């Protein structure tokens, strides 16, 4: 009896154990001394920008990359040679970074799956069963015969996941699977992982550059520059840097004055649409609110409240603490060259019934919207929604089938050259000359845009100051960090002082401080220089910065409002967003899905759903979970995100189309 009492259950061995991992590419150190443990049945996250070392670490764990130092153990096997890697490869599913890079463009959806099944020696009987299940789960069953090259980005990623899962691996390694895909496909992706976790207890290692995905993981490592800054559950990491987040809205006119005043006192301040977000480190919510209110005492404050800091706020604070990014990178000042450009009636971009057909396919269907001078306007939509086609028509690159448009006072049909002189354009791909220096790139674009020689030095100096390029003027563009490269590209697009700026997913892969610095510039260009800015993005946190949004689906605009109005409309139509914590989240997830609640999704150990009658639904949820022996630990309402809006609107349209 006494001996039996001493026996304690053994803790399961980690699926992955990494100690002192070190990887170098010639003289460049990619990963430096990383430790990591992943437990069975866990979704573990690696979060960080491009160049953080995520991919190198994942490839080594998958057994496809050698390394110079440390230990990597997978399923109890030390992966230190090709022979050792072969012992565990059959139990691993690895999906590399990049849309569809592990797929074959000419093969159909089904042919790709069959090819990977053959590689993995999946028996024909099992293949039919697994294929049916995975195609249904990913909603690709209607596209079996479509060639991979004709799939959208989100569909390519889901097909890549199916091919990775076809042999039913025990460990899934997914390198940035949601980068470059729309929010609906991202939500699908996480729903698939939750179902795999529930059904088979699969273990997953997932990397992402999206900070807003942090709550999806059980545990995570924050990475930057090849090192780990913090490890733990999302809530634990939020406590690493104590502080409070103050959100304040002032009258529109002095917003820039308020922003600059707060930046002098606090290192972490950003403008997100009409709201200024201030992270006050080490202060209680009430003390933080009072400090910010005092700093803005002589301005008219429309609203002020405190909230919990996001993981991105903590990440930025950690980067500052570790002195990994200079303080100057967080500050922005735009010096106006002259009076703001004349804006006429204030309308910078106007689209009226824009339509574009390609053979028998209508890519854009009677689209109309307005962008005012000094406004930041976001054009959102999945791949293939028609966003790029709209921009090509407005900039005179592509003639419309029908409709009309005006940009900076010029008719897009008849004044293409005038439009090009009045706009700046920054593409998603880095479009500058990598073997030229920063100053050489700026001067080249100044000549392309016909900046007068007498103004060349003034404009060049202005771009350097505005884009925060002091100290790197003589460095080659190709050698710059991603964030600085993007600011250089923005500066080159602004060198001729355009009235209208078009940006195509401008901050993909940029670290949080670099992204905030970039948006500081955009906010001040809009507010000070009165530049109209049209942004296309998949990044919902980025969409929050916009004054106004248009959501496109299948060539049409299905919502056109401010971010706040879109969220309010969602709550009125679909209900409040509830966050639910239980002792058995996977069991609870299944019960709530089967009960028919709207928008049920797993976020780490919590479940989110939409409730039309919050009080009644709370009682219903508690009763439902109690019947299944699940303890309800916490339930509270929270504001919906733009991702919630996007997913709800697009899914509603898809349901409507399928029912017709």
pLDDT digit string, tens, across residues 155-209: 888 899 999 999 999 999 999 888 777 788 888 888 888 888 888 789 999 998 8
- Among 561, 580, 610, where does a domain finish? 561
Q: Is a pLDDT exceeding 50 seen at residue 62? A: yes
CA quadruple 578, 567, 379, 150: dihedral, nearest 10: 30
pTM of the model: 0.84
pLDDT, residue 421, reads: 81
Rounded CA-CA distance 137/9 in Å is 36
Give me 259's structure tokens: 């922003």
Q: How confident is the model at residue 1 (pLDDT cuts 50, 70, 90)?
A: very low
Rounded CA-CA distance 505/429 in Å is 9
pLDDT, residue 154, reads: 79
Selected residue with higher pLDDT from 431 and 140 = 140
pLDDT, residue 334, reads: 52
Q: Is residue 232 one of the residues assigned to a domain?
A: yes
Domain co-membership, 557 together with 568:
no
Q: Is residue 487 one of the residues assigned to a domain?
A: yes
Report percent pLDDT > 90 for the chain: 54
Give me 80's structure tokens: 């230190």
Q: Which of 580, 568, 572 is nearest to 642 (CA)?
A: 568
pLDDT in tens, 461-475: 999 988 888 888 999
pLDDT in tens, 621-646: 999 999 999 999 999 998 898 989 99
* Spatial contact of 499 and 532, defined as CB atoms under 8 Å apart: yes
Alpha-carbon distances of 299 from 288, 468, 527, 635, rounded to whole Å: 17, 28, 17, 38
pLDDT, residue 71, reads: 96
User: Computed from CA positions of residues 263, 266, 268, 272, in that sequence, does the dihedral angle turn out positive or negative?
Assistant: negative
Region 525-542: mean pLDDT is 86
pLDDT in tens, 235-291: 899 999 999 999 999 986 678 889 989 999 999 999 998 899 999 999 999 999 999
pLDDT in tens, 579-595: 999 999 889 998 998 99
Domain co-membership, 413 together with 546:
yes
Residue 164: how many other CB atoms lie within 10 Å: 22
Q: Is a pLDDT exceeding 60 seen at residue 521? A: yes
Q: Is residue 320 one of the residues assigned to a domain?
A: no
User: Computed from CA positions of residues 43, 46, 47, 49, in that sequence, does the dihedral angle turn out positive or negative?
Assistant: negative
pLDDT, residue 204, reads: 95
pLDDT, residue 329, reads: 41
Strands (E), 52-191: 69-74, 77-78, 92-95, 171-174
Domain co-membership, 444 together with 506:
yes
- The contacts of residue 361 (CB under 8 Å, 6+ apart) are none
Segments forming the whole domain that contains residue 290 = 242-308
* Spatial contact of 557 and 365, defined as CB atoms under 8 Å apart: no
> At how many degrees (to 10) do helices 482-494 and 438-448 cross?
30
Q: How confident is the model at residue 10 (pLDDT cuts 50, 70, 90)?
A: low
Q: Which of 487, 490, 503 is nearest to 535 (CA)?
A: 503
Region 78-95: mean pLDDT is 93
- Among 546, 561, 576, where does a domain finish? 561
Beta pairing partners, 248? 276, 304
Domain co-membership, 554 together with 574:
no
Domain co-membership, 448 together with 556:
yes
pLDDT in tens, 337-363: 545 544 446 899 999 999 999 988 899
pLDDT, residue 450, reads: 87
Domain co-membership, 487 together with 588:
no
Looking at every residue in the chain, the average pLDDT score rounds to 88
The radius of gyration of the chain's CA atoms, rounded to the nearest angstrom, is: 26
Residue 254 sits at the vertex; the CA angle it makes with 250 and 256, to the nearest 5 degrees, is 100
10-14, 24-28, 113-117, 455-459: least confident range: 10-14
- Among 188, 221, 236, where does a domain finish? 236
Domain co-membership, 543 together with 577:
no
One-letter-per-residue 3-state SS of 171-229: EEEECCCCCCCCHHHHHHHHHHHHHHHHHHCCEEEEEECCHHHHHHCCEEEEEECCEEE
Region 76-97: mean pLDDT is 93
- The contacts of residue 313 (CB under 8 Å, 6+ apart) are 241, 243, 245, 268, 277, 279
Q: How many domains does the chain have?
A: 4
Q: How confident is the model at residue 654 (pLDDT cuts 50, 70, 90)?
A: confident
Q: Is residue 331 one of the residues assigned to a domain?
A: no
pLDDT in tens, 214-242: 888 999 999 998 999 999 999 899 999 99
Domain co-membership, 407 together with 369:
yes
pLDDT in tens, 359-388: 888 999 999 999 999 999 999 887 778 888
Q: Is a pLDDT exceeding 70 seen at residue 333? A: no
Domain co-membership, 457 together with 575:
no
Question: Counting Cβ atoms within 10 Å, is residue 19 exposed (0-12), middle (13-18) or buried (19+)?
Answer: middle
Domain co-membership, 388 together with 498:
yes
Domain co-membership, 20 together with 137:
yes
pLDDT, residue 487, reads: 86
Q: Is residue 358 one of the residues assigned to a domain?
A: yes
Q: Which of 633, 603, 631, 635 is nearest to 616 (CA)?
A: 635
475 DSSP 8-state letter: S
The helix (H) or strand (E) run that includes residue 465 is helix 453-466
Q: Is a pLDDT exceeding 70 seen at residue 443? A: yes
Residue 410's domain is classified under what CATH number?
3.40.50.300
Rounded CA-CA distance 621/635 in Å is 9
Domain co-membership, 364 together with 430:
yes
């Amino acid at each position: 009896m006494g001996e039996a009492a001493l026996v304690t259950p053994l803790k399961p061995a980690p699926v992955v154990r990494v100690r002192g991992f070190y990887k170098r590419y010639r003289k460049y150190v990619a990963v430096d001394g990383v430790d990591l443990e992943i437990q069975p049945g866990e979704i573990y996250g690696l979060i960080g920008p491009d160049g953080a070392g995520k991919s190198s670490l994942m490839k080594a764990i998958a057994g496809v990359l050698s390394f110079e130092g440390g230990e990597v153990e997978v399923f109890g096997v030390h992966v230190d040679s090709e022979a050792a890697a072969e012992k565990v490869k059959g139990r691993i599913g690895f999906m590399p970074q990049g849309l569809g890079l592990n797929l074959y463009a000419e093969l159909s959806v089904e042919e790709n799956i069959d090819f990977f099944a053959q590689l993995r020696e999946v028996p024909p009987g099992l293949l039919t069963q697994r294929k049916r299940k995975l195609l249904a789960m990913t909603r690709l069953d209607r596209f079996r015969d479509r060639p991979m090259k004709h799939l959208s980005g989100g569909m390519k990623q889901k097909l890549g996941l199916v091919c990775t899962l076809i042999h039913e691996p025990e460990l899934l390694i997914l390198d940035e699977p949601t980068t470059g895909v729309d929010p609906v496909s991202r939500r699908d992706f996480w729903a698939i992982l939750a179902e795999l976790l529930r059904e088979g207890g699969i273990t997953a290692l997932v990397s992402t550059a999206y900070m807003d995905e942090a709550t999806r993981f059980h545990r995570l490592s924050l990475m930057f520059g090849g090192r780990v800054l913090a490890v733990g559950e999302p809530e634990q990491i939020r406590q690493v840097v104590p502080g409070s987040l103050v959100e304040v809205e002032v009258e529109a006119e002095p917003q820039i004055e308020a922003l600059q005043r707060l930046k002098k006192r606090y290192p972490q301040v950003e403008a997100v649409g009409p709201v200024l977000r201030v992270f006050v480190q080490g202060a209680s919510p009430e003390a933080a609110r009072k400090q910010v209110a005092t700093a803005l005492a002589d301005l008219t404050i429309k609203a002020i409240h405190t909230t919990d800091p996001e993981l991105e706020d903590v990440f930025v604070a950690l980067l500052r603490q570790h002195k990994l990014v200079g303080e100057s990178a967080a500050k922005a000042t735009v010096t106006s060259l002259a009076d703001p450009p004349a804006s006429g009636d204030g309308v910078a971009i106007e689209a009226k019934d824009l339509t574009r057909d390609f053979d028998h396919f209508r890519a854009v269907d009677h689209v109309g919207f307005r962008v005012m001078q000094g406004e930041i306007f976001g054009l959102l939509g999945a791949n293939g929604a028609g966003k790029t086609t709209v921009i090509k028509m407005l900039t005179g690159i592509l003639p419309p089938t029908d409709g009309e448009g005006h940009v900076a006072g010029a008719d897009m049909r008849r004044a293409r050259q005038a439009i090009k002189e009045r706009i700046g354009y920054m593409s998603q791909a880095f479009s500058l000359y990598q073997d030229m220096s920063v100053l050489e790139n700026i001067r080249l674009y100044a000549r392309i845009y016909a900046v007068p020689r007498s103004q060349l030095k003034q404009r060049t100096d202005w771009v350097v100051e505005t884009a925060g390029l002091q100290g790197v003027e003589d460095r080659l563009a190709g050698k710059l960090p991603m964030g600085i490269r993007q600011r250089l590209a923005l500066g080159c697009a602004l060198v001729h002082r355009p009235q209208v700026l078009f940006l195509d997913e401008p901050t993909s892969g940029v670290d949080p401080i670099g992204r905030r610095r970039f948006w500081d510039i955009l906010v001040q260009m809009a507010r000070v220089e009165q530049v109209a800015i049209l942004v296309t993005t998949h990044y919902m946190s980025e969409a929050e910065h916009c004054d106004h949004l248009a959501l496109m689906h299948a060539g049409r605009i299905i919502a056109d409002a401010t971010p706040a109005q879109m969220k309010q409309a969602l709550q009125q139509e679909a209900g409040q967003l509830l966050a639910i914590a239980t002792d058995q989240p996977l069991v609870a997830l299944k019960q709530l899905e089967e009960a028919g609640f709207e928008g049920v999704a797993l976020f780490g150990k919590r479940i989110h759903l939409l409730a039309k009658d919050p009080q009644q639904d709370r009682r219903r949820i508690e009763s439902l979970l109690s019947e299944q022996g699940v303890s309800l630990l916490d339930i509270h309402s929270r504001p919906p995100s733009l991702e919630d809006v996007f997913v709800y609107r697009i899914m509603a349209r898809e349901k409507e189309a399928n029912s017709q």
